[in-house]
Amino acid sequence: MPALLSSAYFAPIQWYQKLNRYDVCLIEQHDHFVKQTYRNRCVIATANGMQTLSIPVEKFDDVKCEMKDVCISDHDNWRHQHWNALLSAYGESPFFEYYQDDIRPFYEKKWKFLFDFNMEITHTLCELLDIQSDIRPTEEFLPMDKTGETALPYADFREVIRPKRSLADADFVPKPYYQVYEQKIGFQPNLSILDLLFNMGNESIFYL
């Protein structure tokens, strides 16, 4: 049975756990874009607490725009801001220097569509983490079982992994790992996969 996930920008650890534990993962590209979700935002740890990095998107005419059609905006020089935020937050982490050349290109090249950008990030992170899952975009919108009475041919995590109103996930129990600012702000669970990568390096796969 494949896993079904929403598209995500440097997704949280929980999202990558599914990629690592399912042989096939489907990324939904035909759902409607929803603001304030992981589709265009990630959360990192800084010396002052958690920080959300959000990608601005172009306004679309239709109220309901499919994820695959959402275009990235160049507003607010966000690429420069996001890279500087990562540099400030993780510049002193054990593995930032090792991985920075793999991550920096995402803030130098311009992608038109958010979904394509997120997919490229996902494939790169899977290579760095040694995740072997077969990752594919959906060919059509896959329905949700809101009643809990229908046996779907996929494990649907679209409503499970989200910043707000997330559903319970018995398979994901955050475990502590080394974080640069843990002594100052305490351990912060389920941050962007970048937090795990920059702090744990090639041992990240064992955490997942």
Cα separation of 116 and 50, whole Å?
Answer: 27
Instruction: Show the tokens assigned to 69.
Output: 């059609």
Q: Would you say residue 118 has pLDDT above 70?
A: yes
Cα separation of 203 and 199, whole Å?
Answer: 9
What do you get for the CA distance between the two ends of the chain, in Å? 19
What average pLDDT does this structure show over 134-153? 84
Please report the pLDDT score of residue 61 as a whole number.
79
pLDDT tens digits for 81-102? 999 999 999 999 999 999 999 9
Q: Is the Cβ–Cβ distance between 191 and 43 less than 8 Å?
A: yes
Cα separation of 208 and 200, whole Å?
Answer: 11
Give strand pairing partners of 51: 44
pLDDT tens digits for 5-59? 999 999 999 999 999 999 999 999 999 999 999 999 999 999 999 999 999 999 9
Please report the pLDDT score of residue 173 as a whole number.
93
> Tokens 């997919």 map to which residue?
119
What average pLDDT does this structure show over 105-128? 99
pLDDT tens digits for 59-70? 987 778 999 999
Please report the pLDDT score of residue 138 as a whole number.
98
Cα separation of 151 and 73, whole Å?
Answer: 39
The pairing of strands 155-156 and 3-6 is parallel
Reported pTM: 0.95
Q: Looking at 143-152, 164-173, 193-202, which range is the least confident one?
A: 143-152
Count up the domains in the chain and report the number: 1
Q: Would you say residue 75 has pLDDT above 80?
A: yes
Predicted confidence band of residue 166 (pLDDT cuts 50, 70, 90): confident
> 29 phi and psi, to 5 degrees?
-115, -5
Please report the pLDDT score of residue 192 as a whole number.
99
Q: Would you say residue 174 has pLDDT above 70?
A: yes
Q: Would you say residue 172 has pLDDT above 80?
A: yes
Max CA distance (Å), the chain: 49
CB atoms inside a 10 Å sphere around CB 36:
12
Please report the pLDDT score of residue 8 as a whole number.
99
Find the domain containing 79 and state its range. 3-207
Q: Would you say residue 147 has pLDDT above 80?
A: no
Q: How far are the Cα atoms of 34, 68, 113, 163 from residue 64, in angstroms, in the given order?
A: 9, 12, 16, 20
